[in-house]
Amino acid sequence: MMKIRQLGRSNLEVSTLGLGCMGMSTSYGAPQDKQEMIRLIRAAVDRGVTLFDTAEVYGPFSNEELVGDALWPVREQVKIATKFGFKLKPNGEAGWIGLDSRPEHIKEVAENSLKRLKTDAIDLFYQHRVDPEVPIEDVAGAVKELIGEGKVKHFGLSEAGVQTIRRAHAVQPVTALQSEYSLWWRELEAEVIPTLEELGIGLVPYSPLGRGFLTGKMDATTTFESTDFRSTLPRFAPEALKANQTVIDLLGDIAKQKGATPAQIALAWLLAQKPWIVPIPGTTKLHRLEENIGSVKIDLTADDLRSIDGAAKKITVQGARYPEKLEQMTGR
């Protein structure tokens, strides 16, 4: 039975685990068959998942269209999160050429996303990356206007730094921050998580399974297609994969004790950190979806958490999580 969580002190209630839909259309090899992905998204709804994550830049556009087509028959049961903030290449070409969070652009993106998502309101509208050219107060103000018009219900930020979060929240309350957070990316713990707790903002971790690494299915011999985003990431170079294997060994040991999988332990660890954390693991396979959902039932004791924490702290994860150009767009 899927449980429910509240994102911070907002009134946005969602399933304890959401579903990240990006990989169905882009970044992890060739796009998946659309009808199969529609069936997978509806299977997630049948199993109690109510938060679905997409963005206009995924594809671009095709992922929002997929999510819209999959969810319109069950729209009343679910919450859809999408994102704005990239300047896209012309004519629907894949990729982007920069950032653009000008208020007029935010409003244009919202109108187009609403059409693709086949809905009259976006439940959670994130700024995808902080745009240094546009004051965050102007961004928050534009979303506030969309909320006033009923086109958006909640405002979110993605990969934002503490000062940006505070400044945005003062103009329009931020419901959720989406950022990478997992056993092998814990930088949020120093400043960001305490700030979210203080302000009553939820956390939606993406890549909670380390882009597949924490499932235990990779090693130094793993290779990626050129169309797979991970082929460009320093953390997935063979020497880094080999060095980071100790994280997997640790998860595997605890998983054996609990009759679970490493992926389930990695998700259960995240869920145990705070009651307002809602991870959004992505998948294109039904058995993985079911495995991920199984993590909700796993209770890690204080002793389990201490041993995971103690072992994880001894491991220095090797390799940056992004190439430099993308890394510069985080934590602003």
- What is the rounded CA–CA span in Å between residue 56 and residue 84? 7
Other C-beta atoms lying within 10 Å of the C-beta of residue 99 = 19
β-strand pairing of 13-15 with 4-6: antiparallel
Residues with Cβ within 8 Å of 189's Cβ and at least 6 positions away in sequence, in order, are none
- Determine which one of 58, 126, 181, 206 is catalytic: 58
Are 51 and 31 contacting, i.e. CB atoms less than 8 angstroms apart?
no
Please give the structure tokens belonging to residue 37.
Answer: 């992905």
Tokens 């597949």, residue located: 212
β-strand pairing of 96-99 with 86-88: antiparallel
- DSSP-based three-state secondary structure for 225: coil
- Annotation says 206 is catalytic: no
Active site residues: 58
